[in-house]
Structure 1
């Protein structure tokens, strides 16, 4: 009898530990409040200025960070890296009305793509609908072993503006990726939330427009 009780106790404790671990990995259901600003920022490749003072700041590894704020008509997002980083940003947003997932991308180009049948479609470059951004600036050419290639400016910050009419409601489900960050001798990507998966919204977080 005691042996059976010990086995039952062991099984219960094991199940509880798995439940607790799973609970820690699930993002919080409470929306993150996005900072409210009274004026739109100038898109100049810098989100460290006072004009981003109202933003919700999210710290990432390797000296990278994300700024989020909004006014009545727009969401503003900025990805900040170090002087040696390109700070490429991918903003993923779920359309609550259609269920579609959108990827808004800013690197040397601006593009948008949709998740179709659990696969991301081809990016539509420069044909932007209700959003825009500050891309990685062109900085001339450099000679390499493979020939001449374009060079891009390091150290600028990546900014995106999304008109709120593009997605309905005052609460949006999103994830954010900041890549081309120099870390431990390699170019790396970091995510918010940390374990988010771009095709699985259950791993994303909800964000609310404060004062909206």
Structure 2
């Protein structure tokens, strides 16, 4: 389930999983300027810009004007994560320009991951969910 709300200059997105399953989420967001941003939340937070060819390597902890819940590590030796019941993103509205955002989610699980909207690609916004803010 995806819930989205806007309050006091912040957009909040909450993904709720039944049963608990997420180990990380890539939120792809394109605002009116067309630039695709990949906001990543797992045990670490990071942001990068996606191009038609590929995405650059990660720069971790560069989450300017946004935050997200992180995955809990249950065993550092084996890098085992506890499945999350939810992942929440809080994004300052001023961070991304315009009144229309397009969104795509890639939820990482032990099974095949979940892509929403299904069948969409990370490198272009065709078929993505549109938010009118």
Question: Fold conserved (TM > 0.5)?
Answer: yes
Aligned-pair distance for 1:163?
Answer: 0.7
- TM-score between both structures, scaled by the size of structure 2: 0.86
Aligned-pair distance for 1:82?
Answer: 3.4
1:130–1:202: structure 2 CA closer, same or farther, 3 Å change rule?
Answer: same
Superposed counterparts of 1:180-195, under 5 Å: 180=109, 187-195=111-119
Check if 1:135 corresponds to 2:64.
no
Aligned-pair distance for 1:131?
Answer: 0.6
Q: Which has the larger radius of gyration?
A: 1
Q: Which residue of 2 aligns with 1:124?
A: 59
Q: Which residue of 2 aligns with 1:67?
A: 3
Q: Which residue of 2 aligns with 1:169?
A: 98
Superposed counterparts of 1:1-212, under 5 Å: 65-97=1-33, 99-116=34-51, 118-141=53-76, 148-180=77-109, 187-209=111-133
**Contact between 1:80 and 1:87, CA under 8 Å: does it hold in 2?**
no
- Runs ≥4 residues deviating over 6 A: none
**Contact between 1:87 and 1:158, CA under 8 Å: does it hold in 2?**
no
Q: How many residues align?
A: 133
Question: Which moved further from structure 2: 102-111 or 73-82?
Answer: 73-82
Query: What is the CA–CA distance in structure 1 between the aligned matches of 2:20 and 2:31, rounded to whole Å?
Result: 34
Query: What is the CA–CA distance in structure 2 between the aligned matches of 1:83 and 1:204, rounded to whole Å?
Result: 25
1:83–1:193: structure 2 CA closer, same or farther, 3 Å change rule?
Answer: closer
Query: What is the CA–CA distance in structure 2 between the aligned matches of 1:111 and 1:155, rounded to whole Å?
Result: 19
Aligned-pair distance for 1:120?
Answer: 0.8
Aligned-pair distance for 1:84?
Answer: 4.7
- TM-score between both structures, scaled by the size of structure 1: 0.56
